[in-house]
Amino acid sequence: MNGFSRSVGRAGAPLHCAAHSHHPWPDVSCDAHLAAWDDAARMLDRKWDHVFDTVIPKAQAHVARQLNLPDPTSVTFGPNTHGFVLRLLSCLPAHRPARILTTGSEFLSFARQIARLEEDRLVQVTRIPTEPFDTFEARFAEAAREGSHDLVFLSQVFFDSGFRLNALAEIVNAVPEAETLIAVDGYHGFMAVPTDFSALAGRAFYLAGGYKFAMSGENACFLHCPPGYGPRPRDTGWYAGFSALGSGGGTAYAKDGSRFLGSTFDVSGLYRFNAVQDWLTREDMSVAKMLEYGRGIEGAFLAALGDGTARVRASQSIVPDANRRGRFLAFRTKDAGAIAAELNGRDVIVDHRGDRLRIGFGIYHAENDAMRMAEALAF
């Protein structure tokens, strides 16, 4: 697909097969990035009126459309998902260790943070292993059903395997206490697989961002906030009270998603996000179509790879069923790090997490790129 001439489409560009990690930016994002600078230079302090009146509402509408959310104002933005994790944690009880149910495969923005709090006995954490995958959803729902949790946190697509949840609603509905916070990390699911969050929008948080399949880079993260949950995070920025300024009775908060806002941040990511979303709309490129296209490239790659003499074999795919997989392939091998390093030295970009070699394809790839990737692994 055209549209990436300044990144992976330029002469001499590497063979980039890590769309799930650092996704190349489409050409339209460059003009958007410059527009953010131009607006700041031209409007000066008044740029924030434009940001809150135009840029943010447009980005909210795009997120709401992709997730089928009933109210775009439930969406708030920030520079990274870790900031949202901190604000969610600051909503938990302070008079005792908070009880958290999660998995053994969460990304570091959450996993590292709760591990540190666990060291000081500020939280009690129950982690459900994701493997074996065929029983994970039932096992996690059973643990959730036991109740007494202050926070239930899990991924839509797991970063270390690509395993994708198909029974998310069943898990959310298994949580018995109405006051329990539920958060879904959708960073590897948003814009990677079609996601209809409408049935869960009133009960669960959803956090993701632009760095991966939304193709917008940094400073474009968001949090969908279900009404009434976490009304007054202790970790607060001054933007969180914008629409509540002037109200009495303690620290005031907005009632919509902006109650989870932080403070001043670089908004260029939202300009890029809006431009990419507009471009995809013009190209009639839905998430479903991008997934279908990516599956075709994956299929060609796996067929070429086979179970021959390459450094990894198709049979080493951790999630062979495409219906249970996000938009990248993970192969289990003790040589994952060495393979990724060797490929990088030959200008072929993949990545690894522990013993998992991760390879992902995007809409900028063609079938010959799949062949090149398979050939690159034959060393």
- Looking at residue 1, its pLDDT comes to 63
- Looking at residue 245, its pLDDT comes to 55
Per-residue pLDDT tens listing for the chain (379 residues): 689 999 999 999 999 999 999 999 999 999 999 999 999 999 999 999 999 999 999 999 999 999 999 999 999 999 999 999 999 999 999 999 999 999 999 999 999 999 999 999 999 999 999 999 999 999 999 999 999 999 999 999 999 999 999 999 999 999 999 999 999 999 999 999 999 999 999 999 999 999 999 999 999 999 999 999 999 999 999 999 887 755 556 899 999 999 999 999 999 999 999 999 999 999 999 999 999 999 999 999 999 998 888 899 999 999 999 999 999 999 999 999 999 999 999 999 999 999 999 999 999 999 999 999 999 999 7
The position carrying tokens 């036991």 is 146
The size of the chain, in residues, is 379
Tell me the C-alpha distance between 126 and 148, whole Å: 11
Q: Are strands 356-359 and 329-332 parallel, antiparallel or unpaired?
A: antiparallel
- Looking at residue 242, its pLDDT comes to 82
Percentage of the residues of the chain whose pLDDT score is greater than 90: 95
* Domain boundaries of the chain, sorted by first residue: 15-25+285-376, 29-278
Q: What is the distance in angstroms between the CA of the first residue and the CA of the last residue of the chain?
A: 29
**Which of 325, 330, 372 has the alpha carbon at shortest distance from 351?**
330
Classified by CATH at the fold level, domain 15-25+285-376 comes out as Aspartate Aminotransferase, domain 1 (3.90.1150)
Whole-number mean pLDDT of the chain?
Answer: 96
CB of 278 within 8 A of CB of 3?
no
**Which of 335, 348, 353, 326 has the alpha carbon at shortest distance from 158?**
326
Element (H, E) at 277: helix 268-282
Per DSSP, the residues of 203-257 read T-EEEEESSSTT---SS-EEEE--TTSSSS-SS--GGGGGGGTT--SSS---SSG
Torsion of CA 298, 299, 303, 309, to 10 degrees: 20
Tell me the C-alpha distance between 157 and 351, whole Å: 17
Tell me the C-alpha distance between 274 and 63, whole Å: 10
The two three-digit tokens of residue 56, written as one number: 């943010």
What is the CATH code of the structural domain delimited by 29-278?
A: 3.40.640.10
Other Cβ atoms closer than 10 A to 59: 25
Q: What is the value of pTM for the model shown?
A: 0.96
- Looking at residue 249, its pLDDT comes to 67
